[in-house]
Structure 1
Amino acid sequence: METSDTRRAVETAGAAASALGLEVDDAVVIHDSDRIAMRLVPCDVLVRVAPSAHRADFAFEVEVARRLAEVDGPVAELDPRVDPRVHLRDDFVLSFWTYYEPVGAEIAPADYADALMRHHAALRKVDLKAPHVTERIAGALSEVSDREQTPELSGPDRELLSSTLRSVSAAISGGEAGEQLLHGEPHPGNLLNTRRGPLFVDLATCCVGPIEFDLAHAPEDVDEHYPEADHDLIHQCRAVMWALFSTWRWRRDDQFPDRHHWRAEGLNRVRVALDRRGPDRA
């Protein structure tokens, strides 16, 4: 968010928490892009805040978290002191989460795979309507095709993203791989190492697709510890994952930190992922 919006969001979060009976002396911003995550102290609650246009996404994430908590999924939980719903205040939507003190050790590949397998098992127990991953790809393809949405994207790079999104979407929608509810973006930034063990966060990206789409977001050595994963499909999904990431960085109104670096780096990683698919792939 812009600096002024961030300041307003922090003030709104503090006021909303105080109105709910939580003690707030200070706020520590943990993440700031199109939405903000902050830790309020001394009540020790994590608050996610965004403009009211994100209300549907926030409501979906709260529902996913609530359902997964009921089946003991390895996910961060909503704060039990606050009603498990989206809260509205001023022009913002807010959700209140348990704050987990991070553990410094890096999550080992086997433990990462175990957390993802348990997460997938919990998701299979949840009856929840979610978009198919190909809908997300179609949305990105629409933005790549719209020069008003991605005005600074060059012709060759636009073609690279477009062809990657089309070809891999066709491979994923072919119906050969089994499908289920997924996290959607279980990259290392969305897996916390806590005293309770690894816990997934940022659940608004939940979608339907093959487990390989989730594995494509994890470090590359994680899939070796996930039985029966299709490694060829993982390589294809990794290419489309970086194509999605790159598309979002080229959006006119993207607010991702250091986005100029990640615009170039994202395109490079698309090329690397495509090379790893092998010469027989289009």
Structure 2
Amino acid sequence: MEASDLRRAVEAGRVTASALGLQVDDAIVINNSDRIAVRLAPCDVLTRVAPASHLAGSQFEVEVARRLSEVDGPVAELEPRVEPQVYSRDGFVVSLWTYYEPMGSEITPADYSDALVRHHAALRRIELAAPHFTDRVAGALREVGDREQTPALSDLDREFLGDTLSRLSSEIGGSGAGEQLLHGEPHPGNLLNTRRGPLFVDLATCCSGPVEFDLAHAPEEVGKLYPGADQDLIHRCRALMWALFTTWRWRRDDQLPDREYWRVEGLNKVRAALDGQGLD
């Protein structure tokens, strides 16, 4: 978020928590992108604040977290002292979560893989209407095809991303692999190392598809340790994942830090993923 919006968003999170009876003397921004994560002290609550246009996504994330907590999924929990819902204030939507003090050690590939196995098992135990991973690809294809939304994307790169997204989506969707509910983006930034063990966050990306789509977001060694995973399908999914990631970076209103770097590096990652597996 821009500085002016950031100040208002932090205040919306702070005031919302205070109005719910939580003591808030300090607010520390932990992450700032299209939405922000703020640690509130001394109540030790993590609040996620997004523009009001993100209401549906925030409500979906809260519902996913609530259901997974009920079946002991390895996910960050909603703040238990308030109602599990999304609150609206000053043009923003606010959700409140348990804050977990980060551990200093890294999550090993074995623990990462085990966390995904348990997460996928928990997802199989809940019923939830979620988009298919190909719906996400369709959204990216619309962005690639809309010059107003991706004005800086060159014609050559536009054609490359469009062809890659379309081809890989069809190949993966027609692979015959079993499908289930997924996290959607379980990359290292969305897995916390806590005293409770590894916990997944940012659940708004939940979708359905093969588990290999999730494994493509994790370090390569994690997929090798995941029982029964199709390694060739993981490689295809990884190329698709980079194509999706790169498309979002070329959006006119994208707010990811270092966007300009990732626009170029993302295209390089897509080509490397394709070339490395003979897919290009």
Shorter-normalised TM range: over 0.9
State the SS of the aligned residue for 2:221. Answer: coil
Deviation digits for residues 211-248 of structure 1 (CA, Å, limit 9, x no counterpart): 00000000011111101101111010000100000000
Q: Which residue of 1 aligns with 2:136?
A: 136
Q: Which residue of 2 aligns with 1:38?
A: 38
Q: Which residue of 1 aligns with 2:103?
A: 103
Identity %: 72
Contact 2:40 2:47 in 1 (8 A): yes
State the SS of the aligned residue for 2:256. Answer: coil
Deviation digits for residues 117-136 of structure 1 (CA, Å, limit 9, x no counterpart): 00000000010010000000
Q: Which residue of 2 aligns with 1:205?
A: 205
Offset at 1:277?
2.2
Offset at 1:160?
1.5
Q: Gapped runs of 5+ residues in structure 1? A: none
Contact 1:134 1:172 in 2 (8 A): no
Amino acid at match of 1:277: Q
Structure 1 residue 13 and structure 2 residue 17: aligned? no
Structure 1 residue 23 and structure 2 residue 27: aligned? no
Offset at 1:276?
2.0
Contact 1:17 1:24 in 2 (8 A): yes
Greater mean alpha carbon deviation, residues 44-53 or residues 153-162 = 153-162
1:1-282 equivalences under 5 Å are 1-174=1-174, 176-278=176-278, 281=279
Amino acid at match of 1:77: E
Contact 2:239 2:274 in 1 (8 A): yes
What TM-score results when the alignment is normalised by the length of structure 2?
0.99
* CA distance in structure 1 between the aligned counterparts of 2:222 and 2:175, rounded to whole angstroms: 24
Q: Gapped runs of 5+ residues in structure 2? A: none
State the SS of the aligned residue for 2:28. Answer: strand
Contact 2:249 2:263 in 1 (8 A): yes
* CA distance in structure 2 between the aligned counterparts of 1:50 and 1:135, rounded to whole angstroms: 22
State the SS of the aligned residue for 1:75. Answer: coil
Amino acid at match of 2:59: A
State the SS of the aligned residue for 1:88. Answer: strand
What TM-score results when the alignment is normalised by the length of structure 1?
0.98
